[in-house]
Structure 1
Amino acid sequence: MKKTLVAAAVPLMFSTLAHAQSSVTLYGLFDVGLVYTNNAAGHSQFMATSGNINGSRWGLKGSEDLGGGVQALFRLENGFSAMTGRLGQGGAEFGRQAYVGLSTSKLGTVTMGRQYDSVTDYTYMFEAADIWAPYYFAHPGDLDNGAGGNRVNNAVKYASKSYGGFTFGGLYSFGGVAGEFSRNQVWSVGANYQRGPLAVGAAYVNARDPNFSYFGNNPNSSTTASNMTASTVYSGYASAKTMQIVTAGVSYKLGKATLAGMYSNTQFKDVGSLANLPSVGAGGSAKFHNAEASVTYQLTPALLLGASYDYLKGYGINEAHYQQGAIGAVYLLSKRTDVFADVGYQHASGTDSTGHPAVANLTSVSASSTSNQVLAVVGLRHRF
């Protein structure tokens, strides 16, 4: 009798589990291109590149219905170079995103893992480099993380449901240093409202010991040296105790055109607080105002045109100015495949974070030997 009951219960149990299981989706994106830079460390340069407008990636995401409006969810997202097959994000296998959490239809979603901060979540849609322009034309050095170059480890995140187009949320990252609760911690908050043609958003990020917590959280990152060498815009401030970012943006759709504007203020506070790291202007704080205006125009259902202008002003320790303009086009070959072409220019003046005369330094490109730098790119994207 017992054997009969067990035999009957086993298929019923698996039937229930199969019913509760939702789906697991494999997805990805290839972004490849050819890039010309007129001056990279004093020489013109041609490159075959991966990750121009979007980083090449593959990922798995899924959810399970737990009943009562509750779901379990996860995402694993790997970044890589389509040109070499090399892992992105400093050698992290799932360096783009890796998290698991619970979502409810009434209260929102809580996730834990490696995730984007609130700047990326709530104001990314106002920056040209997140919509049609390549990462090279992000705000200089992507110092405000407006284009999402940095992720946060050991993070707990809350994201609300939508209340008539209004969403909000926040993130907290545990530093993990015994006896020092605030060391290496990162926290952020943000909100966004989208209704009809209008979208507005704002966010705040606070990172303690940013050289290690914010810029140095990949497998290949150094635990003693500078991890902030990617751009002369901020490389001299690796010894800052705290990094603070405030962003705000707005966009409005007018027929086929969308107008957008974004402002950010980024500060590296108490430079010189972390020993044995670049500390130009030690004892003070380096601050940056950044403003961008852009327009996109859907000329045809398949052709999108874009133009942007960005101005970055440094103040506090050093005073540097960066002016940057870009134009581009994206043409859809299908719903999943498109080609793109972009060209941009940056002009620098003043004194940069290294204490030297500022030179042009487009994001993720070797700095120019002069105050000017031009970059052009043509490429192909395919999604699956």
Structure 2
Amino acid sequence: MKRQFTVLALMLAAAPTVFAQSTVTLYGIIDEGLNYTNNTGGNHNWELASGYAYGSRWGLKGNEDLGGGMKAIFALENGFNLSNGQAGQGGRMFGRQAYVGVNSQYGALTMGRQYDSMVDYMAPTTANGNWAGYLFAHPYDNDNTDNSFRVSNSVKYASPNLGGFQFGGVYGFSNTAGQFANNRLMSVGASYSGGAVTIGAAYMDIDNVGVGSTGAVAANDASFFAGEERTFGAGINYKIGSATLGFAYDHTHLENPTGNGYLTPDTFPAGISVGSLTFDNFEVNAQYYITPTFFVGGMYTYTRGHYDASNGNSHPNWNQFGLMADYNLSKRTDVYVQAVYQKVSGSTGTFLDQAYITGSDNSSSTNKQVVTRVALRHFF
């Protein structure tokens, strides 16, 4: 009996040490506000809308010390619409992120549903991928810098921080027997942050994007449906005192596109064969902290497009301006206002004729559109 009590005492004494090696954190963001769109399908619209500057979410993340400098890591992150309580990302329970893996001095290797390299390395140099969000995205979020989709069935490597330099890559499997290359994704990127400068660059290639429900980018997740989607780009931010100035360029090429995930009805009419659709995005942005709790920001994007189809060629151009002001009421709660204006020119006889600011509920009936937003955001 005495020996049994001794063993029990030793186990209880060791328990705090064992539990201290594992951590689980509950976290989230609630972003809710009122949007006004001056023209959506020919009418103006007032709407309560969730998750624009930051997507509304809650999640669990954690790690366990495996010894020797290695840890097991995981994250489960749900996106939701606060206005109606529905799950986001096509109704997925953990549509924003869901992965498990290991982390060590050599980097992190994870598996599951994850962000691509455009989001990880390129997007932070843009306004929408850093501080402004949805409404500031490039037309139709064609480069995924606003993470409209994630990569399912993916394996991801992220290097450790090497004196400010980091790199990584993602491979998303098709998960279809006999069709290894059908809706698979490959993506790589790198970034450097040191002193006043941050630089990021990335490349992404997807075969048969949006085909089926089991691939790397499923039909209810894709921004476009196409035989191939190829994107590459780079950007730079430079900090001067309380101001940060940025420039970003990227290029997206869609081979044999058949549809768009943002607009309804189908934007590629029956009987029209589209050979290719390309976007070149040029963005300048600036953010200035007037006080530690109050910043203002602005963005201008010029997007040059090329539409090559059986009903002719078109060269649409988008000019988009965005302004934002954000004030922190506390460390975890802030209010912000945004206004975005878009004008399209150069397009003839396609769905690209109408202005469409990403995040509005539909395209304009003209080549111009304005969206404004006032919102409350809380971090927990």
Is this a same-fold pair by TM over 0.5?
Answer: yes
SS at match of 2:131: coil
- 8 Å CA contact 1:39, 1:45 repeated in 2: yes
Quick check: 3-12 or 293-302, which moved more? 3-12
Query: In the alignment, is residue 287 of structure 1 matched against residue 287 of structure 2?
Result: no
Amino acid corresponding to residue 349 of structure 1 in structure 2:
S
The match for 2:296 is 305
- Choose from 348, 354, 358 the match for 2:353: 358
The Cα shift of 1:215 comes to 11
The match for 2:210 is 211
Q: TM-score, normalised by structure 2?
A: 0.89
- Choose from 262, 266, 274 the match for 2:252: 266
The match for 1:62 is 62
The match for 1:28 is 28
The match for 1:39 is 39
The Cα shift of 1:195 comes to 0.1
SS at match of 2:211: helix
Percent identity of paired positions between Structure 1 and Structure 2:
43
- 8 Å CA contact 2:267, 2:351 repeated in 1: no
The Cα shift of 1:141 comes to 0.9
The match for 1:51 is 51
* Contiguous gaps of at least 5 residues in structure 2: 260-265, 309-313
CA distance in 2, matches of 1:129, 1:33: 17
The Cα shift of 1:17 comes to 7.5
Amino acid corresponding to residue 304 of structure 1 in structure 2:
F
SS at match of 2:90: helix
Pair 1:214–1:146, CA change in 2 (3 A):
farther
The Cα shift of 1:315 comes to 1.7
CA distance in 2, matches of 1:14, 1:282: 68
Amino acid corresponding to residue 247 of structure 1 in structure 2:
G
Deviation track 1:35-79 (CA, whole Å, cap 9, x = no partner) reads: 100001110000111111011110000000111000000000001
The Cα shift of 1:11 comes to 2.4
CA distance in 2, matches of 1:69, 1:262: 37
The Cα shift of 1:216 comes to 8.0
Deviation track 1:120-173 (CA, whole Å, cap 9, x = no partner) reads: 000121111133324122111111001111101000000000110000000001
Pairing of 1:57-206 with structure 2 (within 5 A): 57-105=57-105, 107-206=106-205
Pair 1:216–1:137, CA change in 2 (3 A):
farther
Pair 1:6–1:100, CA change in 2 (3 A):
farther
* Contiguous gaps of at least 5 residues in structure 1: none
SS at match of 2:128: helix
The Cα shift of 1:328 comes to 1.1
Q: TM-score, normalised by structure 1?
A: 0.88
CA distance in 2, matches of 1:92, 1:186: 20
The Cα shift of 1:18 comes to 2.3
The Cα shift of 1:217 comes to 6.5
The Cα shift of 1:14 comes to 6.8
CA distance in 2, matches of 1:336, 1:357: 40
- For the aligned residue pairs, the C-alpha RMSD in angstroms reads 2.8
Amino acid corresponding to residue 71 of structure 1 in structure 2:
K
SS at match of 2:301: strand
Query: In the alignment, is residue 255 of structure 1 matched against residue 241 of structure 2?
Result: yes
The Cα shift of 1:9 comes to 9.6
Pair 1:183–1:301, CA change in 2 (3 A):
same
SS at match of 1:90: coil
Corresponding residue pairs, total: 367
